[in-house]
Structure 1
Amino acid sequence: MPLPGFTITSIDDVPAMAVTSLITVKTIKEPTPDDPSVIQWYRMAPNATAGEDLHHESEHLYILEGEFHDGDRAWPAGSRISGKRGSVHYPSSKLGCTFLAFFPNGLGKAD
């Protein structure tokens, strides 16, 4: 049992959803009325591409394994990438990668 005020989730217990045939996501933490933040785990297979990704809120990525490409350059495991609200990148991975995405203010909505 976790300490009072804490929630514990195992990534193994979270169902994966297909974003594309080569990209899967697991939402580890959903937003709540008291805390809009979202945490997601992504796996990109080799040669995966997601197209344009416009950020309606800020996003922080931490590359766990492999190599993540943002449309400009490749980032190896251990890299942290932060995108401001309104920024755009083009996620892809030639080699494949796994990363965590943290949205402190939630996912936002298209205007």
Structure 2
Amino acid sequence: MRFDITHSDELEPIDIAPGITARRFPPGPDGATVLQVDFSAGARWPTTDVHELTEIIVVQSGDFHDGTHVHPAGTYIYGHPGSAHHPQSTTGCRLLVILPDGEPQAA
């Protein structure tokens, strides 16, 4: 049995919004996208984030606010296709984000 191992520190950070960075793990054979997303304290996604595909979030540290509820570290969030939220964090947080069907294709 073979394991592919990557540490997030080896990945180039991608600035995706002010105070929000992501690190993209190498894709697996199933096509899933896996990201580590860091929010600085007070950072917020610029718009409501509507999901065309399934999104799974695990709050690894800090408090993640979805625009309605605050989710502490250890929270598992399953976003069904068509779900929407306004990601932000007052304290800062780290998320593991899994897009099992990969990223939506640009129109």
User: What is the TM-score with the length of structure 1 in the denominator?
Assistant: 0.88
The answer as to 2:95 corresponding to 1:89 is: no
Matched, 1:30 2:27: yes
Map of 2:56 onto structure 1:
60
Q: 1:73 pairs with 51, 69, 74, which one?
A: 69
Which consecutive unaligned segments of at least 5 residues does structure 2 have?
A: none
Superposed displacement of residue 110, structure 1: 5.2
Task: Name which one, 1 or 2, has greater alpha-carbon Rg.
Answer: 1
2:37 is matched by which residue type in structure 1? Y
Which of 36, 45, 49 is the aligned partner of 2:40? 45
Q: Percent identity?
A: 30
2:5 maps to 8
Q: Which amino acid aligns with 1:30?
A: P
| Structure 1 alignment gaps of length 5 or more | none
RMSD: 1.4
